[in-house]
Amino acid sequence: MSERRALVVGATGLTGRNTADHLARTGWQVTGVSRKQGMDTDGVRNVSADISDPVSIAAVAQEVGATHVFYCTWSRQETEARNIEVNGAMLRNVLETTGRTGTLEHVCLVTGLKHYLGPFEAYAQNPAQPPFHESQPRLAHENFYYTQEDILWEAAERFGFTWSVHRPHTVIGYTLGNAMNMGVTLAVYGTLARETGSPFVFPGSPEQYDGTTDITDARLLAEHLAWAATTPAAANEAFNVTNGDTFHWRQMWEVVAAGLGVEPAPYPGQPTPLEHRMGDAAAVWRRIADREALIEPDIDRLVSWWHTDSDLGRTVETHAAMTKSRDAGFSRSQDSSRSFLDLFDHLRAQRVIPAGVNET
């Protein structure tokens, strides 16, 4: 096997961190790019660069000479028009600079199921019908995912590399300081409920509580990215990436509660958004962190109340078909209950939540 040199863009994020870790453990030469302090994973070389600055990322691209790029980042903006402008420019900078090296063989672009649901400002307004299939047409809304795909396809034709687009659902896995991290958010929520005696109530919509949904384990997504990057049958294709099972939050909420050592409260029949209920959470969390010697006393570096509310507050069912990946040869699956329980165990081991939070 020739040397595979991976450039993981967004290596401190939820997807990027797990991807870089998986690649390093399976023999790749891995460089992780981020604007923040790098991750502490063995085998991953960390580089600081600003991908919104072509000069900054060009220096990294030339030095690394990547054979494979894993694009695992985005920047949330106030409007979808700005999302298109900013996120399109960042991807274009990465592809232009890595494409010019002449070493690039494949690019994996991570987007998501908003491809089928629409952007935040038109979220779940006339969405596609689940289960989502990759062959379904684009929605009639501006969407930066669509812009990124167009940029990717144009660059691939010009520079001669292959590509794959990966559309995960809500990603569950370990990282800190991520703006879209429901698993860690729920772990903090359960810890706060245990501390204060407040009800651990499912905060989302009746449609999510009783409807069919799925999630994506960050570890499975990392495997899917590595598979697509090195499998001819996956070249120049878009794929959904989910665990391969489905569930109702009615049952999963009991699993999550048990994993965090709290009692699940009766569902009130309507959404009770976390963002409106957690006004005093920062002070309570700092008290817990000081008492339990946790590694992060700043709750804002752990939770994403707004994103979890958005995810769990949908008024439509959301689940994606994995048939296309299966037909192309990707056979891995992941039990979704274990996605949550494994994450909670890891958070305890890393002293992110108290070690005894699951004791009864």
Q: Which residues are catalytic?
A: 114, 145
With left for phi above 0 and alpha for psi between -120 and 50, is residue 147 left, alpha or beta?
Answer: alpha
| SS3 at position 330 | coil
The type of residue at 241 is V
Beta carbons within 10 angstroms of residue 117's beta carbon:
24
Of 182, 143, 194, the closest CA to residue 165 belongs to 143
DSSP code of 233? G
Of 14, 115, 70, 16, the closest CA to residue 320 belongs to 115
Cis amide prior to 131 (ω within 30 degrees): yes
Bridge partners, 46 (sequence order): 32
Residues with Cβ within 8 Å of residue 27, at least 6 apart in sequence: 1, 4
| Segments of 142-301 assigned E as strands | 162-168, 171-172, 216-217, 237-241
Decide if 217 contacts 334 (C-beta within 8 A). Answer: yes
Place of tokens 């958010």: 185
